[in-house]
Structures are given as C-alpha cells and as structure tokens.
Amino acid sequence: MTTPTTHVRPNYMLIWLYLFVMTIAEVLLAFELPVARNLKLILLLILAIWKAMLVALFFMHLKFERWRLRLIFIVPLPLAAILVTTVIMEKVW
Amino acid sequence: MTHATQALDQMRPPYSTEPGSGVYSNKLGMWVFLASDVMFFTALIGSYIVLRFGAPGEWARPGAILNVPLTGLNTFLLICSSVSMVKAYAAIADGKKYFLRKVPGKRLQDGGLKFWLLITIICGAGFVSVQVVEYIKLVGHGFTPAGYREGSLLAEHAAADPIKYGLTVAGLYGSSFFTMTGFHGFHVTCGVISMLYLYFTKVLPEKYSPQDYRGIEVIGLYWHFVDLVWIILFTIVYLI
C-alpha cells in the first residue's frame, strides 16, 4: 500500500484558455501572417509541442506523477525520434 | 499555472498497487498501452514526413483541398472534451456524483461527474460526426485515398493548377491523409464507446466514489492522449 500523494489542482479553465488561444494563433500563423515558410514551420511545430505538453502535464497529471511512471511515457519519445531520423536518413542516403 | 485554492488528494487505494510505479495495475496498464500507441502514431507521422519531403513533387498547399476552419472548430471541440473529462475526474475526486446541483449564492449550477462525462461524450461524438461529414464531402469532391478521382471537379481544378493541388503526388497525399486521420478517428470512436459503456454501467448507477474512481482516471488518460495526438496531427496534416 502506498502513501497517497497530495498536490494542488491545476486551473483547468486557464489551461483550456491557453489551448484555445494557441489554436487560433496556429491557424492565423498558417494562413494570415506573412512569415517565411521555414520560420512558419518551426513556429507551428513549437506551438503544437507546447499544446501537447500542456495536455500531458496538466490534464494527464504527468507533472504530479512519480518519475518512475513518467519514464514509461518519456522513454518512447527518443525512440520515436530515432525511428523517424533513421527512416529519413535511409531516404536521404 | 497552478493555484493553491484546492488540495487534491489522490485516491487512497483499498486495492494493490504495482511495486515499481506505485500506481494500481489498471493505470499502469493504460500508461504502457499509451507508450506503445506513441510508437504507433510515430510510425504514421514518420512515414508521412518521409513521403512528403521525399516526394518527387510538391504536396497540395494547406487549405487548397481540406476545410481548415471546420477542422479548426473540430480541434476546439476535442480540446473542450478534454477539459470536460478532467472536470469529470475532479468532480468524482471531490465526491460530486450528481448531474447538476444548485449552489447557494451562485447563478450557475455546479456540474458533477454525470454532467461532465456526458459533455465529454457529446463533444467526442461531435468530433467523429464532423470528421465523417468531412470525409463524405472530400470523397464527393473527388479527393480519395487513391488521389483525385478522374472526372471530378477537384481533378479539373488540379489539372488547371497542378502546383497548388500537388497533382503529381495526389495519391501519396490522399493515402497518408486518410490513414492518419482515419486511425485517429478510430481511436476517438473507441474512446466514445468506452465512455458510453462506463456512463451506463458505472456512472449512472453511482458505482464510483472518491475512494475508488479508477475507471474515470484510466479512460481520462486515454482521452487526453487522443486529444494530444490530434493537436500534433492537426498541425502536421492541416497547417504545414
């Protein structure tokens, strides 16, 4: 039996507002703002990863979980990056 | 980001926990499944990147074929469902099993587990419905997994402006679009069916309590992951 952990509850509505604003920012950036294509690509990816992290950390409560449990979710990410890089390298090669 | 108005006590488990992770087996199982799903979607996204940037021609421009405003609204719907899911989780953690209840001195009624989970189910079903309508319209216009259907209006537009519509790689575009969004839609559908099952068998009969709401936490993890994947897919498929 484990000792229950206690943490402060995130302000879910504030995170929802962040996600909403960032989604609008993404669409505007993609279609309305005159930004160079490569810069646009990088900014869109940053916004997407930022939004995904907000969901994982606060809605999935990863921020409040033990490191052992976080590792289960974190370990596949570098593996995924290696997988994609390898496939791209093979294509380039 | 956080505010210290309310301390959240996690479940005090009357059941056994896994010794390594310190969480109950259902939750550990869901996290392991999600880790495997990360690899599954990575394979899809990786293939998409390789196909797109290694293709002999330019992909269709964003918004040329796909209805981005509609999908943007759909993305917002899925984000709303994620918030309602986490509100359902918070409600049962606070022991609010009810649908709606009047709060003295407040105009709005307070939502309980039954209310917030129902909102999540409606938003999830709405997302799938919009996606089905989008598919029907796209196929109707001539955009199929095999590319642009011969004789369709889209094929005519593509012939007139082959760069804007990525005519040379239309088949690659169609197959990768329908595969990625289709598999995600399948995940959302599974989530909605699972939540409906929980709603009628556990939530309505009030079988969850602040001491044990494992089902809500586990389905919540799955649902947020589905939202997380869509956030990435929306950017990669619709905006870039």
Q: Is the model more confident about A45 or about A33?
A: A45
Most confident of A28-32, A77-81, B9-13, B72-76: B72-76
Residue type, B155: A
A36 in reach of chain B (CB within 8 A)? no
Superfamily of domain B25-239: Cytochrome c oxidase, subunit III, four-helix bundle (1.20.120.80)
The pLDDT tens digits of the residues spanning B123-137 come to 999 999 999 999 999
Count of C-beta atoms within a 10 Å radius of residue B179: 14
Judged against a pLDDT cut of 50, whether residue B4 lies above it is answered with: no
Q: What is the ipTM of this complex?
A: 0.88
Q: Quick count: other Cβ atoms within 10 Å of Cβ B121?
A: 22
* Residue A68 C-alpha, separation from nearest chain B C-alpha, in angstroms: 6
Contacts of A68 in chain B (CB under 8 A): 20-22
pLDDT computed for residue A74 by the predictor? 86
Q: Among the listed ranges A5-9, A69-73, B158-162, which one has the minimum average pLDDT value?
A: A5-9
What residues of chain B lie within 8 A of the CB of A14, using their CB?
Answer: 1
Interface membership of B91 toward A (CB under 8 Å) = no
Reduce the DSSP state of residue A6 to 3 states and report it.
Answer: strand
Assigned token pair, A18:
């962040």
Q: Are A46 and A74 in contact (CB under 8 A)?
A: no
pTM of the prediction? 0.90
pLDDT given for residue B21 in this prediction: 67
B23/A19 touch (CB, cutoff 8 Å), yes or no: no
- Residue (of A93, A81, A89) closest to B43 by Cα position: A81
Contact state of B21 with A44 under an 8 Å Cβ cutoff: no
Q: Do A12 and B86 lie within an 8 Å CB cutoff?
A: yes
Q: What's residue B12's pLDDT?
A: 52
- The partner residue sitting opposite A72, judged by closest CB among B31, B85, B224, is B31
Query: B81 vs B107, which has greater pLDDT?
Result: B81
